[in-house]
Structure 1
Amino acid sequence: MKDNTIRISLLCLWATAATLADPVLVELPHGTLRGRDNGAYYSYESIPYAEPPVGELRFEVPQRYSQHWTEVFDATHPPVECIQWNQQIDQVDKLIGVEDCLTVNIYKPKNYSRSSFPVVVNIHGGAFMFGQTQGSGHEALMASGNVIVVKITYRLGPLGFLSSGDSALPGNFGLKDQRLALQWIKDNIERFGGEPGNILVVGFSAGAASAHLHLLQQDFKQLAKAAVSLSGNALVPWVMQQSGRRRAFEMGRIVGCGLLKDSTELKKCLKARDASEIVRAVREFLVFNYVPFTPFGPVVEPVDAADPFLTQHPIDIIKSGKFSHVPWLVSHSQEDGSYNAAILLAKQPNGKELIEELNNRWYDLAPYLFFYRDSKKTIEELDDYSRDLRQQYLDNRNFSEENYLAVQRIFTDALFRNDTLRSIDLHRHHSKSPIYYYVYDNPASRSGAELLAKRNDIQIGTGHGDDYFLLFENQYRQPLRPDEEIISNSFIKMLEEFAESDNGSLAYDDCVFPNNIAQEQVQFVLIKRHSCEILKLD
Structure 2
Amino acid sequence: MWKILILLSVVTLGYCDDGEWKQVRTAQGEVRGRKDPAGGLYAFLNIPYAKVPVGTDRFKAPLSAPIWLEPLDAIDRGIICMQPPSPLFDTSSKVMQEDCLITNVYVPDTDDKNLPVIVYIHGGAFEIGFGNMMTPKHLVKNKKVIVVNFNYRLGVHGFLCLGTEDAPGNAGLKDQVALLRWVNKNIASFGGNPDDVTIAGYSAGSVSVDLLMLSKSAKGLFNKVILESGVSVGFIAIQRNPIENAKTYAKMLNFTKVNDFYLMQEFYKSAPMKSMFMSTFLGRKDSTVLFSPCIERRKGNQAFLDESPYNIIKSGNYNKIPMLIGISNMEGSLQMHHVGIWKDSMNTKFSDFLPVDIKFQSNDERDIVSNKIKEFYFGGQPVGEETILAYLDYFGDIMFGYSTLRAVKLHLEAGHKQIYLYEFSFVDDSVPVIPNTNERRAQHCAQTMAVLEGPMDEETLSEEYRNLKSVIREMWSNFAIHGTPVTEDSSLPTWPTTSAGGSPYMSIGKAVEIKESFLGERGKFWNKIYEKYYSAPVAVAPPPSQAYHNEL
TM-score (norm 1): 0.83
Map Cα deviations across residues 104-148 of structure 1 (whole Å, 9 max, x no partner).
110111134x23421111001111111122321222213322211
Instruction: Give the CA deviation at 1:506.
Output: 3.0
Report the 3-state secondary structure (helix = DSSP H, G, I; strand = E; otherwise coil) of the residue aligned with 1:467.
helix
Displacement after TM superposition at 1:186 (Å): 0.9
User: 2: distance between equivalents of 1:263 and 1:72?
Assistant: 47
- Equivalents in 2 of 1:366, 1:36: separation in Å? 54
Shift of 1:68: 2.1
Kept after mapping to 2: 8 A contact 1:370/1:415 = no
State the AA in 2 paired with 1:400.
G
The residue type equivalent to 1:304 in the other structure is: K
Alignment partners' CA distance in 1, 2:133 and 2:309: 28
1:324 aligns with 319
Q: Distance in 1 between matches of 2:125 and 2:351?
A: 18
User: In structure 2, what residue type is equivalent to 1:480?
Assistant: L
Offset at residue 206 of structure 1 (A): 0.8
Match of 2:105 in 1: 106
How big is the shift at 1:536?
Answer: 4.6
Query: Could you tell me which amino acid in structure 1 is paired with residue 240 of structure 2?
Result: Q
For residues 131-150 of structure 1, what are the structure 2 equivalents within 5 Å? Answer: 131-150=129-148
Q: In the alignment, what sits opposite 1:359?
A: 344
2-side partners of 1:149 and 1:515: how far apart? 25
Secondary structure of residue in 2 paired with 1:150? strand
8 Å contact from structure 2 (residues 48, 103) kept in 1: yes
Secondary structure at the aligned position of 2:277 is classed as helix
C-alpha deviations, 1:466-518, integer Å up to 9, x for none?
Answer: 221111111258533222222211222222222222xx33318523332236x
1:187 corresponds, among 161, 185, 188, to: 185
User: Partner residue of 2:543?
Assistant: none
Unpaired runs of 5+ residues, structure 1, are 1-19, 346-352
Counterpart of 2:439 in structure 1 is: 459
Matched, 1:303 2:294: no
Looking at structure 2, the residues matched to 260 and 400 of structure 1 have their Cα atoms a distance apart, in angstroms, of 37
Shift of 1:436: 1.3
Cα distance, 1:85 vs structure 2: 2.1
2:56: which partner in 1? Answer: 56
Pairing partner for 1:400 from 373, 380, 384: 384
Contact 1:221 1:325 in 2 (8 A): no
Q: 1:460 to 1:400 in 2, by over 3 A?
A: farther
Q: Retained in 2: the 8 A contact 1:81–1:96?
A: yes
In the TM superposition, 1:147-226 aligns within 5 A as 147-218=145-216, 220-226=218-224
Which range moved further: 307-316 or 142-151? 142-151
Aligned with 1:121: secondary structure?
Answer: strand
Paired residue for 1:510? 492
1:33 corresponds to: 31
User: Residue in 2 aligned with 1:239?
Assistant: 237
Q: Which residue of 2 aligns with 1:525?
A: 506
Is the Cα contact below 8 Å between 2:79 and 2:95 reproduced in 1?
Answer: no
Does the CA contact (< 8 Å) of 2:346 and 2:383 recur in 1? no
Separation in 2, partners of 1:529, 1:521: 21
Contact 1:511 1:534 in 2 (8 A): no
Residue of structure 1 equivalent to 2:399: 415
The Cα of 1:324 is off from its aligned counterpart by 0.9
Work out whether residues 211 and 229 of structure 1, in 8 Å CA contact, stay in contact via their aligned partners in 2. yes
Q: Distance in 2 between matches of 1:274 and 1:124?
A: 26
> For residues 20 and 338 of structure 2, what CA distance do their matches in structure 1 show?
54
State the match for 2:536 in structure 1.
none
8 Å Cα contact 1:33/1:72 also seen in 2: yes
Moved more, 300-309 or 141-150: 300-309
Contact 2:130 2:152 in 1 (8 A): no
Contact 1:127 1:206 in 2 (8 A): yes
Aligned position for 2:532? none
Structure 1 Cα separation of the partners of residues 387 and 416 of structure 2: 43
Look up the match of 1:487.
468
Contact kept in structure 2, 1:163 and 1:170, CA below 8 Å: yes
- Which of residues 400, 416, 420 is equivalent to 1:436? 420
Aligned equivalent of 1:7:
none
Amino acid at match of 2:343: L
Cα separation, partners in 2 of 1:363 and 1:436, compared to 1, 3 Å = farther
- TM-score, normalised to structure 2's length? 0.81
Residue 372 of structure 1 aligns with an amino acid whose one-letter code is V
Match of 1:344 in 2: 338
What is the deviation of 1:533? 2.0
Query: In the alignment, residue 393 of structure 1 is paired with which amino acid?
Result: Y
Change (3 A) 1:374 1:168: farther
Structure 1 residue 261: deviation in Å? 4.3
Instruction: Name 1:82's counterpart in structure 2.
Output: 81
Alpha-carbon separation, structure 2, partners of 1:520 and 1:84:
39
Q: Distance in 2 between matches of 1:363 and 1:276?
A: 39
Q: Take 1:258 and 1:117, find their aligned partners in 2: how far apart are those partners?
A: 54
Identity fraction in percent? 26
- CA distance 1:170–1:365, change in 2 (3 Å): farther
Alpha-carbon distance in 2 for matches of 1:172, 1:236: 17
CA distance in 2, matches of 1:515, 1:330: 11
- Is the 1:86–1:129 Cα contact (8 Å) retained in structure 2? no
Aligned residue for 2:408, secondary structure, equals: helix
Contact 2:216 2:304 in 1 (8 A): no
Q: Is the 8 A contact 2:153 2:172 kept in 1?
A: yes
Moved more, 154-163 or 378-387: 378-387
Structure 1 residues 243-282: aligned runs within 5 Å: 243-261=241-259, 263-280=261-278, 282=279
CA RMSD of aligned residues (A): 3.2
